[in-house]
Amino acid sequence: MDVQLPFSREEYEQRLKAVRSELLARQAHLVLVDESEHLFYLTGFGPSATMYQVCLVSVDRDPIMLLRRLDEPSFRERTWLCDYIVFGDAEDPVVHLRRALTQLGWADKRIAVELDSHYLPVRRFHALTAALPDATFVDFSDVLWEMRLHKSPQEVAYLRQAATIADEAMRQAIASVGEGVHERAAAIVASRAFLELGADGGHIGRIASGGRTDSLHGALRNHSLVQGDVVHMELCPQVSGYSARLMRPTVIGTPTRVQEETARVLVKIQDQQLAAMRPGAKAKDVDRICREQVLTTGLRDTYDNTTGYTLGYYGTPYPPRSSDFTRVFLPTAEWSLEPGMVFHMYTAARGMAFSETVLVTDQGHERLTQLDRRLFVR
C-alpha cells in the first residue's frame, strides 16, 4: 500500500523520543494516547471519536495502535506504524486493550493516561481502571498539548499554505457579495475556492450578516443582503489538518462614518498588538495592548473573550473543540511567547471583526495571512 506521511520518519522519531522522555520522568512504562490530534501528531492517523481508538506508546518498543477494523485501510495508508490490533463494531475496545496489555506484560505497570482527553470520558476511564486492577495510573495531561505548541518547519509550511488559501478565498467571497445577494453566495464561493486551492475540504468557518454580525460564531442563514448590511466572514481552511484563520468585515453600499472609524481604529490597535508579539513577551502584556485600547476608546463596553489563541492541527472540521486554548491571550496570561508558536489573533467591535494567523519568529512575528487590513465595501 502506498503510504504518504505528512511528516518525515525523523520528525516522528523526535516526537516519540520526547514522549518517552516524559514517561521516564513520571516513572511510567507507557501512555495510552487517545486524543485524535495527538494520535495524528505521533502516528499520522487521526481517527474520529465514533468508537474508542488508542495508541500504546511505551518506553521500549514501537507504538501499537488499537483501532476499529473499518478504519484499517485508511490507517495503513496514513501511518508509519507496523503494529496494530483491530476490533469489530460489536466488540468492546477496552476488552481488546486489556488483552493486549496482559499479553505484553504491561497490565501491572505504571500506565499514563491523558486525563484531559476529549476521548476519555469518565465512564470510559472507569471501565479502564476496572479492567486493569493491577495497574497504577499516572496523569499525562497537558504533555502533548504543550509539545505541539512549537511548530516544526513542515507544520509551518502547512499553516502557511492554509493562510494563502484563506487570503484568496476571502478575496473571492468578498467579491461575490452585494445588494440583493444571498449571504450563502459568499459561503458557496469560499467553499469552492478552498477545494480548488488545495484545502482538505470545503468547510468554511463562520459567515453572518445584517443584524447578526456581532455573533462571531453565528450560523449561516437565509438573509438577502441590503444597503447598510455588514457581512462578517471568518474563513478557516485546513491543509493536512492544519488550520489558518482570517476575519474581515464587508459593508454593503456606502459605509457610515462610525463604521469607517471603527474599522480604522480596530486595525490600528491590533497592528500595535501584533508588533508586540516577539519572543519573551508576556502574553498578558500583548493582550493588554488590544483589550485596554478597545475599551478606553469606547468601541466596547465589555471585553470578556480572549484576544488570541493557539493555532495548529485540528483534524476534521468538527473536532471536539473548534479552538485550541492551550495558550490564550487574557489579562491573567502569565506565559511568554516563544519562536515557533502560531496564533489566531482577533478583535471585534460594533459588528466589525479583524483577525490574522500569526507566527512568532526569532526576530518578532510574521503575519501568515496577508489580505489587506481594511473595511471592504461592496
249 and 185 belong to one structural domain:
yes
pLDDT for residue 1 is more than 70? no
Residue 216, in any domain of the structure: yes
For residue 306, the model assigns a pLDDT of 97
- CATH for 251: 3.90.230.10
Give residue-wise pLDDT tens across range 244-294: 999 999 999 999 999 999 999 999 999 999 999 999 999 999 999 999 999
Indicate whether 3 belongs to any domain. Answer: no
10 Å Cβ neighbour count for 277? Answer: 24
161/238 Cα distance (integer angstroms): 9
The pLDDT, as a whole number, for residue 48 is: 83
pTM, two decimal places? 0.95
Q: Kindly state whether residue 218 falls inside one of the protein's structural domains.
A: yes
The reported pLDDT for the residue numbered 213 is 75
Mean pLDDT for the stretch of residues 159-165: 98
Same domain, 206 and 72: no
**123 and 176 inside one domain:** no
On the question of pLDDT at 219 being above 90, the answer is: no
Q: Are 30 and 112 in contact (CB under 8 A)?
A: yes
CATH of the domain at 68: 3.40.350.10
What are 16-75's pLDDT values in tens digits?
999 999 999 999 999 999 999 999 999 999 888 889 999 999 999 999 999 999 999 999
Question: Is residue 1 in a domain?
Answer: no
The per-residue pLDDT for range 101-160, each reduced to its tens digit, is 999 999 999 999 999 999 999 999 999 999 999 999 999 999 999 999 999 999 999 999
| 197 shares a domain with 97 | no
Answer whether residue 82 is part of any domain.
Answer: yes
250, 229 Cβ separation under 8 angstroms: no
Widest distance between CA atoms in the chain: 72
How much is the pLDDT for 318?
A: 65
Q: How far apart are CA 104 and CA 27, in angstroms?
A: 18
- State the pLDDT confidence band at 6, using cuts at 50, 70 and 90: very high
162 and 139 in one domain? no
Residue 321: pLDDT band by 50, 70, 90 thresholds? confident
Any idea which residue has 505497570 for its cell? Answer: 109
Residues 102 and 240 in one domain: no
Whether residue 201 is contained in a domain is answered as yes
C-alpha 294 chain-centroid distance: 26
Q: In this structure, are 198 and 257 located in the same domain?
A: yes
Residue 212 pLDDT: 76
Q: Do 245 and 363 share a structural domain?
A: yes
Any long-range contacts for 3-10 (C-beta under 8 Å, 24+ apart)? Answer: 3/76, 3/77, 3/78, 3/79, 3/80, 4/77, 4/78, 5/44, 5/78, 5/79, 5/80, 6/44, 6/154, 6/158, 6/240, 6/241, 7/44, 7/152, 7/154, 8/154, 9/80
Distances in Å between the alpha carbon of 241 and those of 37, 114, 200, 326?
9, 21, 7, 17
The whole domain housing 229 covers 153-377
pLDDT in tens, 66-112: 999 999 999 999 999 999 999 999 999 999 999 999 999 999 999 99
Number of domains into which the chain is organized = 2
pLDDT of residue 303: 97
Residues 158 and 256 in one domain: yes
Among 6-10, 12-16, 206-210, 344-348, the minimum mean pLDDT is found in 206-210
Mean pLDDT of 209-224: 80
Q: Which of these three, 97, 112, 147, is where a domain ends?
A: 147
Query: Domain ends where: 131, 147, 163?
Result: 147
More confident residue, 319 or 184: 184
pLDDT band per the 50, 70, 90 thresholds, residue 225: very high
Cβ atoms within 10 Å, residue 254: 10
Instruction: Round the CA-based radius of gyration of the chain to a whole number and report it.
Output: 23
Q: Same domain for 214 and 115?
A: no
pLDDT of res. 315: 82
**Is 269:188 a contact under the CB 8 Å cutoff?**
no
Q: Is residue 119 part of a domain?
A: yes
One domain for residues 121 and 218 = no
Q: Are residues 180 and 268 in the same domain?
A: yes
Q: Is residue 4 part of a domain?
A: no
Please identify, among 147, 182, 212, the residue that sits at the C-terminal boundary of a domain. Answer: 147
